[in-house]
Chains A and B, each alone.
Chain A
């Protein structure tokens, strides 16, 4: 019931959104100087340093976006060793993205840049905030390219890096000390997840993930309506967008929470066209309505031990391969394949809850 109310709320919201006349980017309220501060020359990117793009105002480490750089966040983020993330989008003047489907990445114009900064708070020994890297996805005429920028220790600049490296880091996570060798991926590694039919693609920026409130400096707004208002998205979205939720939202059903979690953490590979689409699972939000796609009572392809008879065995986490894969850090067994080296306890608990909620194979 709650669900339905929520969905109704979304529908109303979206309807409101679509009736708002779209504001243009040169709206004086948004960009007082009338033209973008940002510099993205597609013939010379990626630039050697992050500051060259002028995505941020003031001291770059505070990540205060320039006027036409818009922050966003998917309802449920990908877990990457508890790294915190800030995400932004920028498009060239007058360009707009268009809606393709609820579960498809927005069709973004040439020149678009997606910006994602990875950082930790309460970093030991002195509890500071530390930015590790900022990853860009830049849409060129030929397609998307990756550009990773590694921040210096002084947190004053980030430098383009094409090879992988690791940064040892320890921090307090809800008062508990955690440590990891944070891995900055090479371009090759980026592509493992960020691809469809072998071509580089963004992952999170789909209507289903943005159809929720985000706290902007001016207040909370629906992210899709914000993008429309900023002139970054064609208006006229469907009235009803089937949307993911924040997996932490205890007010929602375990099923909806897990499906949102799987979409964010697994579906980039376990979907048609992905790195692992030859496995039977289909973990995108739009496909997990059918629990068989999550592996409920499905025999695993790979033998990992006699006890693991199904990908999900109803009510038995200890006999469920997916549970094993989320609960181990052993690289050949863990899932996701890359992007984490420590177990995401909250995600694992959610999966357990879901497995216990299944009493049979339906």
Chain B
């Protein structure tokens, strides 16, 4: 703790010199009605710009030199267009991102083909007055599901059956009969490894549909609204979105619930015990400036503290002590991404009217940074829902990888961290939704770091000084797990690198028969009765 405080004070002195500033508008030629996304679409981790029309998807692919190569992909004339929001993620795990469109009357999923060169629409017949959309693995089965806020009914979601088919469900995650669901955001607020859902809500006429909800993931596919107990119920406060990050770098996710009615925004500190404390007064959020439907949080100046952007142009810089100062940026952003791959997040802005699209490039500063790029194996492909942590002189910083921040748009899926004037990162740790943990020690800073699930495993675990390990590896007939009797195991599961579950063993853990498996790489996950998960990669080889 002392170390953390010391680091915080060091950072405070360094941030005084850091600036948040952006270039003047750099016009982007993109012919699309809805330019709502800046996210990598082709697996090179360079953020692309995505626009949608009624019968095409326009992608400007970012090149390594910072230019963009446009591609217009014709689609059918879709039933539903992303009037209210879109979200992006690879729900069929084929390596190319898919898109969900939320319209005022229904929902369509656009599924990318095996080469990312065509999309097939899957339009759902149910009436949905869509608001915020998300991709999230809400039942933690390794497959991305779709979630859609319903403006006037209970929320809906689309559960992945594991083969890339999404099955419509309504009920269980926000069931107010009148809806009022505007800004869903999936956050692991209680640090238990699964994805919880906060819903910023809004409804006129003193309706209880306007009361915000926090749905705790019970880990078994069910959710419980714990807003009252958690102090996340904000009465008739009208909100369309909230911005979540660990604003004080104490290891849990804090929240800024944006106001859409001219009253004050609300800043909440996570007490790390399942509850939150209102710390709005004196925080810099206690004025209505920037009453807006869009609130997102990123570290725009790479000083190690995440900032908040409201209404596209109201930048509030995190002072590092849970206060925020508004800075003038003369720029605007509807989507946030690194559009020139320099480690500083840029603003992409679209004037809805007239189709003027602009990039405001982050002018940057001398602060150091790292960009974590994920590839899920047992977990979903994008690593959505992964908790990314970096450790160093500052203590700890964390991010959740999310598809669907703010209200309408889609931001980068890479996890950006600024580290201020620090010159080294001790380690990067990724806790995947599968429970797998990868750790990279002493990574190179000021560049991207790609982490493939299971490729940098935390050595399984040590109990009473004895290491639990796999042998042989590669293996042909069986994998022996040494010292596994030291763990109270509930099951051992084997996944392919595509995330397909191929074996589940609930007895005789010490020797896992893999003779029937095809040749290739696999992940073995050991789950204990207390819910801990350990995993390791191995290779099956025939003689």
Contact = CB atoms under 8 A, between A and B. Distances in A.
B408 A332 contact: yes
Contacts of B165: none
A278 B261 contact: yes
B344 to A, nearest CB: 22
Interface stretch (B55-63, B201-209, B320-328, B430-438): B201-209
A333 B262 CA distance: 20
Contacts, number: 94
Given A192-B152, A198-B207, A305-B354, A278 B238 contact: yes
Interface stretch (A27-35, A77-85, A287-295, A323-331): A323-331
Given A301-B292, A332-B83, A197 B205 contact: yes
A303 B202 CA distance: 18
Contacts of B293: 301-302
Interface in B343-366: 351-354, 356
B313 interface: yes
B314 to A, nearest CB: 9
Interface in B209-268: 209, 238, 260-262
Contact of B313 (A186, A302, A303, A331): A303
A334 to B, nearest CB: 9
Interface in A277-324: 277-280, 301-308, 324
A307 B352 CA distance: 11
Contacts of B205: 195-198, 272-275, 277
B84 interface: yes
Contacts of A192: 152
Interface in A43-90: none
A213 B237 CA distance: 44
Q: Interface size for chain A: under 10, 10 to 19, 20 to 34, or 35 or more residues?
A: 35 or more
B312 A303 contact: yes
A304 B105 CA distance: 22
Given A330-B33, A333-B352, A278 B104 contact: no
Interface of B: prevailing SS: loop
Nearest to A163: B127
B332 interface: yes
Contact of A188 (B81, B152, B204): B152
Contacts of B292: 301-303
B291 interface: yes
A38 interface: no
Contacts of A306: 332, 351
A128 interface: no
Contacts of B40: none
A214 to B, nearest CB: 31
Interface of A: prevailing SS: loop
A301 B33 contact: no
A330 B206 contact: no
Q: Most chain-A Cβ atoms within 10 A of its Cβ — which of B84, B152, B153, B293?
A: B152
Contacts of B356: 305
A278 B204 contact: yes
Contacts of A278: 202, 204, 238, 260-262
A33 B540 CA distance: 92
A360 interface: no
Contacts of B81: 331
A192 B262 CA distance: 22
Contacts of A330: 33, 83, 352
Given A274-B204, A304-B352, A305-B351, A191 B152 contact: yes
A189 interface: yes
Nearest to B150: A188
B294 interface: yes
Contacts of A307: 351, 353
Nearest to B203: A275
B103 interface: yes
B332 A280 contact: no
A240 to B, nearest CB: 30
Contacts of B152: 188-189, 191-192
A164 interface: yes
Contacts of B260: 278, 301
Contacts of B51: none
A276 interface: yes
Contacts of A183: 105
A330 to B, nearest CB: 7
B94 to A, nearest CB: 30
A269 interface: yes
A332 B84 contact: yes
Contacts of A301: 260-262, 291-293
A352 to B, nearest CB: 15
A12 interface: no
B178 interface: yes
A196 to B, nearest CB: 7
B311 interface: yes
Interface string B257-283: 000111000000000000000000000
Contacts of B351: 304-307
A161 B408 CA distance: 32
Nearest to A328: B353
B338 to A, nearest CB: 22
A8 interface: no
A123 to B, nearest CB: 23
Nearest to B294: A303
20 contacts: A183-B105, A191-B152, A197-B207, A198-B205, A198-B206, A198-B209, A273-B205, A273-B206, A274-B204, A275-B204, A277-B204, A278-B202, A279-B261, A280-B262, A301-B262, A303-B294, A303-B332, A304-B352, A332-B84, A333-B352
6 tightest A-B contacts by CB?
Answer: A277-B204, A278-B261, A305-B351, A331-B83, A278-B238, A273-B205
Given A269-B204, A305-B352, 16 more contacts: A163-B127, A188-B129, A192-B152, A198-B178, A198-B206, A198-B209, A301-B262, A301-B291, A301-B292, A303-B312, A305-B353, A305-B356, A328-B353, A331-B104, A332-B408, A333-B352
